[in-house]
Structure 1
Amino acid sequence: MFKILQWNMHGYLNNYTQLELLLKEHSPNVVCLQETNIAADKSAASPHQYQSYFYNLPQNKTNKQGIAVLIKKSIPHRQVPITSNIATIAIEVSLSFKFTIVALYIPPLQNFTCSELRNILRSVSTSFVIVGDFNAWSPLWGSTLCNNRGAIIEDMIFSENLTLLNDNKPTHFSTHKTFTSVDLTLCSSNIAPKLTSNTLPHLHGSDHFPILTILRTPSVFKAQPIPKFLTDIANWEKFQHTASDLCEKYPYSDNINKEVATFTKIIRTSAHLSIPQSSNKIFTKTVPYWSPELSQLRNAKRFYWSEYKRTRSNQNLITYKKANAMFRRKAKQSKRDSLNKFSESINHKTNPKKAWSDIKKLSGIYPQPQLISISNANGPIVNAKQLSNYFAAYWSNFHATFISDKNKYLSTPPYTLSNITDCNIEHIELQSTLSSFSGKTPGVDRISYPMLQHLPPCLMARLIKLYNNILNKGTYPQTWKNAIIIPIPKSSSPATEASGFRPISLLSCLGKLFEKIIAHRISWYAINNNSISPQQVAFKEGHGTIDALLVFESYASTALSNRNHLSVLSIDFEKAFDRVGAHVVLR
């Protein structure tokens, strides 16, 4: 479902708070605005997650008229150049098919012809939706009279075989206390069956009603959140008691995969009985400054508006205007108070994660961006399963020589470094490594580090026995190889191609704990046997990029002081981590 919101907002800056509330309530993919009252040579800040296109006729140097289109940054699109005396913005959108949204505004005193409107349509090469304030009257869209403008629009509709989507509800409440229909939604006939348009019932601080047009598209995958165990409020005493009982109930197995399944079952069962879980409902955006009082004021102004529409009395209109003014004033005040309260709460003890979360909410930035589509040679991909398979194929596309060398090397018997690196894991080694983890994100098995850090002694001993069994047999559990892969958008790359995403894998915490113990041993062995170059600073404890910069600064300073030439070779390997396989490191 693709949503297009059009609205003559009667001042972008004046009604920005109302716009934010509309965005939170309806979450439109595209917003088309008229009468932004922003001059031709200026623009304004746009809501986060939206890319904005502002336009005004060149002769409008004052803050009058003007249009804007806001489109979500995650949607593949391009602006179509339009040359016209009518204020127009055209945006071509790429979903499972391409179509163009044409937003325009024709002021009441501007003269125009049907030919000018046709020329705008000639600039568009796809199916299209036209939205805007035409200031035209016609019985076709609910007016009792037909003016010259209405006749021109009628002529264009019939000659271009357009479909009118208006629902015959009034779109404008004039200063003469009358309702008119001047905002139109038109479309090319080939996509008309996919479109429905609805005039929203409230003014939202303007004198025009917003219109929401919905385009039915192939369903876009919306990930159902996986419930997380809220370990911050866990009953650890109950968790340990339950885990101890289950540890006695289920005996240890020498079969590694079976024992991993049993161990996971014990922890998961204990967690279900002692740790609350987060909701699995799809995330809903809210405004951080919203309050029950604002809800009451909004409901009150909507009630008084309904009363006015029913009775058309002056007293009800005055009551509505007072209620609307109170709501607008309170919303702005609440927004300021929310920002002040947040600013005052920041100190040296503030949790950075919570602080940044609050900053993003205040800025209108919310998590969980959804993939709309990915472009490939055969066109956009929108189906969830097809997207998953496409990402998997792209990220596993290694050269045949790379795969052949890897399989050949890993098929040879393992090389034992020393008795020390292969000796049994001790309790103190496990506890030391486990205490170094601070994250809470689990893998597919939903077991997190806080759960492992609160294991009872009997389960801790059982885990050590399992790790040593894996180490001695050389068999790695199959379930620990499974991961949740999350595509994270790269800041400098387009979100319409697979190359614009970085894969982040969430592996089992049980597996990562075991791997870190082994990594510590190998690191100790490599350093003590001088297997790592002294010049290397990456992945060495107590070293970092600052060391490399200091060495470079030393060479540069020496060369300059001696008036010598200094040559620097800098290499950036594309997908460096992807290209270094396990066989390369081991070799």
Structure 2
Amino acid sequence: MSFIGEPGEATHQAGHVIDLTFSNIPFATTEVAEDLHCGSDHFTLLTTIPARGRQPLDQFHYRVPTRRLHQFNALVELHLQAHPISPINTKADIESSIASLERTLWAALKGAGTPDRAKGHSAPWWTEDCVEAHSRHRAARNLAEPGTVPIEIREFLAVVRKAKKEYWANRINNITTDEELYSLLGWHKLTPGQQDIPLIVNNQTISDPLEKAEALRVEILDRFSAEDDLPEPVWPTETPAGTLPWDTHIPMEEVERSTIGVSSTSPGTDRITVRLLKTCWAQVRTHIRSIFQKCLELCYFPTAWKTAEVAMIPKVGKKDRTSPRSMRPIALLSCLGKGLERVVARRLAWTAMTHEILSPSM
């Protein structure tokens, strides 16, 4: 067993080294966590044990503030000048061009954006007075004599109580509608504070996020496979089917209307939103039109735009949240891929109605 703390570092308010940590695990460390102080005269110790347990799944998005949108556009333009997209002639060229375009947009997103790790936000009643009182409280705590309670601590608690009282009094006095009243009642939580409800599969309780994701995949997504698809062609026949005219020319106006002329939708695995595409549209519109044009000419839908990120959301009206059947999957696809889908869907609808190939009863 070896001491894994910092030699000589105080672990008590009086300056003593009274809390010691020993371990026989290589590279384990213990440090005083000032940000986790809970008000005790003993400091909070944080022990890190390497290579134990499961690596946490660090998922986050990049957010581009409005003030940095011009920077995102400039980075896209600069990257396209340094790495121009090659001409498109084959299906392989389509996939290569999409990959190159996604690399450009992703590089600009990382350069102009900031990671959104959902660290949360301060309480609504936390004011500047609370911040100043908390700073004085921390400074006094480090200088206080053993066995004494600094007056700054009492002042800090008084400031917090006053801020809470004023906040709630203001909320209650400003209620004018029933909606605001019910919104306020939502703060009074009568349900358990646990939001991440475990799943129960085959009488086994699953709480780990990765294990829950795997269980949902098996119980919901793996119910069907490629063997359940209809045969191709669906109705075998020796008589050649007739052909319908298919216009492969796509004007820039149609590309723009289908890609960025829509309401903002959730992005796919590339993390590129409609808002970002609107920002750099002048730089990428020619490349996107070329990709759409060649897809129509070759009757090909890119594999890269078939990849979806599946998210599970609770079904409305389901009370048993521990059952996998209470969840439903939604597929988050690339905004560019959804733009091509709209182009194809409009042309299919126009062709079907113009040539009367659908039943009038439909």
What CA distance in whole angstroms lies between the structure 2 residues aligned with 1:473 and 1:517? 15
What CA distance in whole angstroms lies between the structure 1 residues aligned with 2:285 and 2:312? 34
Q: Give the alignment's Cα RMSD to 1 decimal.
A: 4.5
* Deviation of 1:308 (Å): 9.4
Match of 2:147, SS? helix
Counterpart amino acid of residue 147 in structure 2: R
Instruction: Single out whichever of 438-447 and 280-289 deviates more from structure 2.
Output: 280-289
Counterpart amino acid of residue 310 in structure 1: G
Change (3 A) 1:363 1:516: farther
Match of 1:460 among 266, 285, 288: 285
Counterpart amino acid of residue 87 in structure 2: Y
What CA distance in whole angstroms lies between the structure 2 residues aligned with 1:495 and 1:521? 42
What CA distance in whole angstroms lies between the structure 2 residues aligned with 1:466 and 1:311? 73
Counterpart amino acid of residue 342 in structure 2: K
Higher relative contact order at CA 8 Å, sep ≥6: structure 1 or structure 2? Answer: 2
Matches within 5 A, 1:224-243: 224-230=59-65, 233-235=68-70, 238-239=74-75, 241-242=77-78
Establish whether residue 382 from structure 1 lines up as the match of residue 214 from structure 2: no
Establish whether residue 310 from structure 1 lines up as the match of residue 143 from structure 2: no
Matches within 5 A, 1:218-297: 224-230=59-65, 233-235=68-70, 238-239=74-75, 241-242=77-78, 244-246=80-82, 249-254=84-89, 255-273=93-111, 276-297=112-133
- Report if aligned partners of 1:243, 1:459 keep a CA contact under 8 Å in 2: no
Structure 2 length as normaliser, TM-score? 0.64
What CA distance in whole angstroms lies between the structure 2 residues aligned with 1:416 and 1:238? 49
What CA distance in whole angstroms lies between the structure 2 residues aligned with 1:410 and 1:228? 45
Report what 1:333 is aligned to. 166
| Length, aligned pairs only | 299
Per-residue CA distance 1:475-533 (angstroms, 9 max, x = gap): 32222111111111234323222112121221111110000111122233344437366
* Deviation of 1:436 (Å): 2.9
Change (3 A) 1:430 1:532: farther
Match of 2:349 among 523, 537, 541: 523
* Deviation of 1:456 (Å): 5.2
Per-residue CA distance 1:190-236 (angstroms, 9 max, x = gap): xxxxxxxxx9546xxxxxxxxxxxxxxx8796653222344674006
- Report if aligned partners of 2:61, 2:271 keep a CA contact under 8 Å in 1: no
What CA distance in whole angstroms lies between the structure 1 residues aligned with 2:188 and 2:79? 42
* Deviation of 1:272 (Å): 4.2
Report what 1:506 is aligned to. 332
What CA distance in whole angstroms lies between the structure 1 residues aligned with 2:173 and 2:114? 30
Match of 1:227, SS? strand
Match of 2:313, SS? strand
Change (3 A) 1:231 1:301: closer
Report what 1:434 is aligned to. 259
What CA distance in whole angstroms lies between the structure 2 residues aligned with 1:264 and 1:451? 12
Per-residue CA distance 1:239-289 (angstroms, 9 max, x = gap): 563255246x3422432211211222233334444xx31324343353122
What CA distance in whole angstroms lies between the structure 2 residues aligned with 1:326 and 1:429? 59
* Deviation of 1:474 (Å): 2.8
What CA distance in whole angstroms lies between the structure 2 residues aligned with 1:284 and 1:334? 20
Matches within 5 A, 1:488-499: 488-493=313-318, 494-499=320-325
Match of 2:126, SS? coil
Task: Please identify which structure carries the higher strand content.
Answer: 1
What CA distance in whole angstroms lies between the structure 2 residues aligned with 1:257 and 1:240? 19
* Deviation of 1:458 (Å): 6.4
Match of 1:486, SS? strand
What CA distance in whole angstroms lies between the structure 2 residues aligned with 1:533 and 1:467? 32
- Report if aligned partners of 2:306, 2:333 keep a CA contact under 8 Å in 1: yes
Report what 1:406 is aligned to. 230
Per-residue CA distance 1:130-152 (angstroms, 9 max, x = gap): xxxxxxxxxxxxxxxxxxxxxxx
Match of 2:230, SS? helix
- Report if aligned partners of 2:200, 2:323 keep a CA contact under 8 Å in 1: yes
Counterpart amino acid of residue 339 in structure 2: L
* Deviation of 1:407 (Å): 4.4
Change (3 A) 1:230 1:483: farther
- Report if aligned partners of 1:240, 1:456 keep a CA contact under 8 Å in 2: no
What CA distance in whole angstroms lies between the structure 2 residues aligned with 1:226 and 1:505? 17
What CA distance in whole angstroms lies between the structure 2 residues aligned with 1:425 and 1:323? 66
What CA distance in whole angstroms lies between the structure 1 residues aligned with 2:254 and 2:155? 70
Per-residue CA distance 1:141-185 (angstroms, 9 max, x = gap): xxxxxxxxxxxxxxxxxxxxxxxxxxxxxxxxxxxxxxxxxxxxx
Change (3 A) 1:309 1:433: same
Match of 1:330, SS? helix
What CA distance in whole angstroms lies between the structure 2 residues aligned with 1:321 and 1:453? 53
* Deviation of 1:377 (Å): 0.8
Match of 1:502, SS? strand
Change (3 A) 1:522 1:291: same
What CA distance in whole angstroms lies between the structure 2 residues aligned with 1:456 and 1:324? 53
What CA distance in whole angstroms lies between the structure 1 residues aligned with 2:164 and 2:258? 50
Establish whether residue 443 from structure 1 lines up as the match of residue 268 from structure 2: yes
- Report if aligned partners of 1:231, 1:451 keep a CA contact under 8 Å in 2: no
What CA distance in whole angstroms lies between the structure 2 residues aligned with 1:221 and 1:364? 32
* Deviation of 1:388 (Å): 2.5
Match of 1:480, SS? coil
What CA distance in whole angstroms lies between the structure 1 residues aligned with 2:286 and 2:156? 67
- Report if aligned partners of 2:268, 2:333 keep a CA contact under 8 Å in 1: yes
Change (3 A) 1:231 1:477: farther
Per-residue CA distance 1:74-98 (angstroms, 9 max, x = gap): xxxxxxxxxxxxxxxxxxxxxxxxx
Match of 2:305, SS? helix
Change (3 A) 1:469 1:297: same
What CA distance in whole angstroms lies between the structure 2 residues aligned with 1:245 and 1:384? 42
What CA distance in whole angstroms lies between the structure 2 residues aligned with 1:521 and 1:329? 64
- Report if aligned partners of 1:219, 1:383 keep a CA contact under 8 Å in 2: no
What CA distance in whole angstroms lies between the structure 2 residues aligned with 1:301 and 1:269? 44
- Report if aligned partners of 2:130, 2:159 keep a CA contact under 8 Å in 1: no
